Amino acid sequence: MDSLRYFNVTTGDPLVNKAITNQLNDIIENTGSIGVSLNFISDYFAEYEIGIINASPYLSFKLSDNARDIGTLKVFFSDINLNDYLYIADKTMKISKLIKNLVSLKYLKSSRNELISFMLTNLIIIDSLTYLHLKQVQKYAVYLGKVVGLSSEQLNALSISALLHDIGKLAIPDSILKKKTHLTESEFQIMKNHPYFGFEYLISFPDFIQDAYIAFYHHERWDGFGYPYGLSGNNIPLEARILAIADAYDAMIGFRHYKKPFNISEALDELKKQAGKQFDPNLITVFTESIRKTDYLQGSRENAIKGSNPAI
C-alpha cells in the first residue's frame, strides 16, 4: 500500500479541488508519510474520502473554518518526525482556508468584486508570491493601456484579466510552481496548461467571459510561436498583447531563485530585442519610451518579496 494515493475531491469548485489535491500530494512527496485520508464532515459537503490507506501510525488534524470543525485530516507514517509534523500542520491550515473560502462563497450573492477576492485569496494561500506578481502586472498593463488610449471599458477588462491571468496556476503542483531551478521540458509542458485551467474556470462565471479571453491569450507571441493556439500579429487581441508585455517585464525585474533580477534599463533593452518576435513591436516602442521618460513605476519593485514568479 506504500505511496498509494487516491484523491476524489468534489467540493464543487474545480480549481479549489485541484489546489487541495496538490496540498495532499505535497504531503506525501515531502514528508515521511505513506498515505493520506481526508474526510469532510460539514453539512456543506458530502461525506467522502480522498484516500484510503491501510497503514499506521497516523497523525490526525482537525479542519476548521473558525466557527466549527469541518473535517479531519489523517496522515499515515512509517516513522514520524517533528519536521514532518510541522510541514503537515502548515498544509492542514492551507486546506482549511481553501474550504473556508469556498463555504463563505456559498453564502454570498457573489458580486464581481467578491468573486475576484475569493479567487485571489485562494491563490495567496497556495503562493503569495504569485499574488505579488499579479498586482505588479496589473499596474504595468493598465499603465500601457492608458498610454495607447484604451477606453475605460477596455481598461477595466485589462485590469481584471491582468489580476487573474495566472489563476490557472492553482491547478499546477507546488513542486513545479515553486521550483527553485529552471523547469524541465516535461514540467514546462505541465505549466503551459495553466492558461487552459484559468480560462475554463473564469468562463464559468458570466461576469468574467471577456477577461477570460484576454488572460487566455497572454502567452501568444507576435511571431506565432506562442501558446495555447499559436496566434500571431494582430490576430492576438490587443489587450492580450499588452498583458504579455506587462507580464514579461515584471518577470524580468522581479527576483527569481535561479536568476538575479534585471534592472529597469536591462529589462527594457530585452523587451526591445523581442519586438517583432515575442511582442507587438509598436507596443514595445510605446512602453519602453514611456518608461524611460518617466519615473512612474520605476521604484515599484525595490521592496518586492524575493521569489516573484517568472512569466512562464
What pLDDT does residue 49 have? 41
What pLDDT does residue 306 have? 38
What pLDDT does residue 44 have? 40
DSSP codes of every residue in 243-266: HHHHHHHHHHHS-BTTBPPPPHHH
- Report whether 293 contacts 117 (CB < 8 A): no
What pLDDT does residue 103 have? 60
| pTM of the model as a whole | 0.71
Q: What is the dihedral of CA 279, 284, 288, 294, to 10 degrees?
A: -120
| Chain centre distance of CA 91 | 17
The residue assigned the cell 530585442 is 273
What pLDDT does residue 36 have? 73
Helix (H, G, I), strand (E, B) or coil at 53: coil
Q: What is the pLDDT of residues 168-227, one digit of tens each?
A: 888 888 788 878 888 899 889 889 989 988 888 888 777 888 999 999 999 999 999 999
Whole-angstrom Cα distance, residue 268 to residue 249?
A: 8
C-alpha cell at 48: 467522502
Distance in Å from the first CA to the final CA of the chain: 36
What pLDDT does residue 5 have? 45
C-alpha cell at 265: 534599463
Whole-angstrom Cα distance, residue 44 to residue 38?
A: 15
What pLDDT does residue 59 have? 66
What pLDDT does residue 165 have? 93
Position 102, amino acid: L
What pLDDT does residue 45 have? 40
Whole-angstrom Cα distance, residue 294 to residue 200?
A: 38
H or E element at residue 186: helix 185-191
- Residue 75: CB atoms within 10 Å: 30
Whole-angstrom Cα distance, residue 223 to residue 281?
A: 11
What pLDDT does residue 110 have? 59
Whole-angstrom Cα distance, residue 176 to residue 227?
A: 19
Q: Where are the beta strands (DSSP E) in the chain?
A: 33-40, 58-64, 69-77
pLDDT tens digits in sequence order for the chain, 312 residues long:
333 444 555 566 777 777 777 787 788 778 767 667 676 544 444 333 444 445 455 666 666 655 566 567 767 666 666 677 677 777 777 777 776 666 665 555 557 777 788 788 777 776 777 788 888 999 999 999 999 999 999 999 999 999 999 988 888 887 888 788 888 998 898 899 899 888 888 887 778 889 999 999 999 999 999 999 999 999 999 999 999 999 999 999 987 655 678 888 899 999 999 999 999 999 999 999 988 877 555 555 443 333 334 344
Q: What is the pLDDT of residues 110-119, one digit of tens each?
A: 577 777 887 8
What pLDDT does residue 94 have? 74
Phi, psi of 70 (to 5 degrees): -120, 5
Domains of the chain: 14-107 (no CATH), 112-293 (1.10.3210.10)
What pLDDT does residue 51 have? 45
- In the sheet with 33-40, reading across from the earlier edge strand, the strands are 33-40, 69-77, 58-64
What pLDDT does residue 106 have? 56
The residue assigned the cell 493520506 is 36
C-alpha cell at 104: 463563505
C-alpha cell at 148: 495607447
Burial (CB count within 10 angstroms: exposed 0-12, middle 13-18, buried 19+), residue 56: exposed
Burial (CB count within 10 angstroms: exposed 0-12, middle 13-18, buried 19+), residue 1: exposed
| Chain centre distance of CA 121 | 11
